[in-house]
Amino acid sequence: MPPEIVQWLQNMSLATAIRESAIVFPVILSLHLTGMGLFGGMILMTDLRLLGIAMTKRPVSDVVKGLRPWKHLGLTLTAGCGILLLWSKAAIYYPNPYLRIKLTLFALIIIHSLVFRSVYRNVTDLDRSPVIPGRAKMAAALSLVLWLSVLTAGRWIGYWEPKGGPAAASQVVLQLDADVTH
Amino acid sequence: MALFLAYDPSSNPLNTNEWAFPVCEVLHILGFAVAIGTITMVDLRLLGIGMKKESAADLVRDTSTWTLAGLALVLITGPLIFSSDPNMYLRNASFRFKLTALALAIIFNYTIHRWVALKKGPGGVAVLTGLISLALWVSVIFGGIFIAFV
């Protein structure tokens, strides 16, 4: 994405309002983490059930289908708040390599969901199966690895600084500002 | 208190190693997702809006090991993070709020929340218990995030 567009996004009034508010930014961040509590817990129990580690006394379909709407609610809350946070500091986060790693991981998660669509769609088949098939276990294990990687990359975004420290970062932003103005 | 005031955290590995602090934070978030996620499963059942094929009692029994594992991870990484700058945390209003909410949430979880879920009480009590539990845990998360903003 061209830096001008990233700067233009960050300069939009709603993004600026979020970034500069002493209360709105941390509230959105808190909701981002609340979403993680919901989504993270639900995806973990879903995958641990598929792996045959947790909730083993319950049918696979009861656990996976029961958790599904709450998993989706948690994901929507986390992603919605995440997009707002990213938007509000688009130009600041733009050069951050951990953001790029995180976005790449999301692409892998989309591929994962397409490849293993049949596993999650046909969970009732798993109830009749005496053992959980390797393919379902593979889907669950990869899901856990991918989401844990997203969490790690996300946390690392906050620790990266461009070469030369924060001063250099603000220089980049100022330069972008100048580019947009002229 | 005096012990913390005399403590110099500058040699703490969390402050000298580039990776140690964020690793603790990642594990802290993972731990609370496991603990709060599993408790939320019971809350949703108490509210009568989720996991309806299971009873609240069964859900508590199925998830309690995971809840405890999540809490253990949080209660190990939390004090480590605290040790990186005890004086800042002790003076931080949001940190004090968070610890109060956390203590209440844990006590509530292992007393009233557990009793109500295990003994199928009247619907109104179950709903109230689920709501209080959710409110307490969300307060802990907000308190934690606001430490960096007050």
Q: Which sign, positive or negative, has the C-alpha torsion A132, A138, A141, A142?
A: negative
Distance separating alpha carbons of residues A147 and A155, to the nearest angstrom = 12
Question: Do the chains contact at B145 and A26, CB–CB below 8 Å?
Answer: yes
The tens place of each residue's pLDDT in chain B, 150 residues long, gives 556 767 888 888 888 888 899 999 999 999 999 999 999 999 999 999 999 999 999 999 999 999 999 999 999 999 999 999 999 999 999 999 999 999 999 999 999 999 999 987 678 999 999 999 999 999 999 999 999 999
Closest approach of B38 to chain A, Cα-based (Å):
6
What is d(CA B99, CA B103) in angstroms, rounded to the nearest whole number? Answer: 6
Residue A89: domain span:
3-181
Tens digits of per-residue pLDDT, A154-165? 999 999 988 766
Closest-CA distance, A25 to chain B, in angstroms, reads 9
B95 versus A122: the higher-pLDDT residue is B95
pLDDT at A128: 86
What are the angstrom distances between the C-alpha of A135 and each of A138, A140, B15? 5, 9, 43
| Residue A39 with chain B: CB contacts under 8 Å | 33, 37
Q: What does the domain layout of chain B look like in residue ranges?
A: 10-146
pTM over 0.95: no
Look at A155 and B63 and tell me if their CB atoms are within 8 Å.
no
Of A38, A156, A159, the CB nearest to B40: A38
Interface test with B, best of A28, A31, A34 (most B CBs within 10 A): A34
* Structural domain count of chain A: 1
Helix pair angle (B93-108, B123-146), 10° resolution:
150
Q: Which of B66, B74, B134, B140 to mutate to test the interface with A (most CBs of A within 10 A)?
A: B66
Contact list in B for residue A26 (CB cut-off 8 A) is: 145-146, 148-149
Beta-carbon contacts of residue A59 (< 8 Å; ≥ 6 apart): A127
Closest among B52, B37, B71, B62 to B126, alpha carbons compared: B52
Chain B hits for A151, Cβ within 8 Å: 26, 29-30
Structure tokens at A62: 């009861």
Distances (CA, A) of B113 to B1, B43, B67, B108: 33, 9, 13, 6
Q: For chain A, say whether B102 makes contact (Cβ under 8 Å).
A: no
Q: A72 at the B interface (CB within 8 A)?
A: no
Residues 6+ apart with CB under 8 A from B108: B132, B133, B136
**Cβ burial, residue B22 (10 Å; 0-12/13-18/19+):** middle
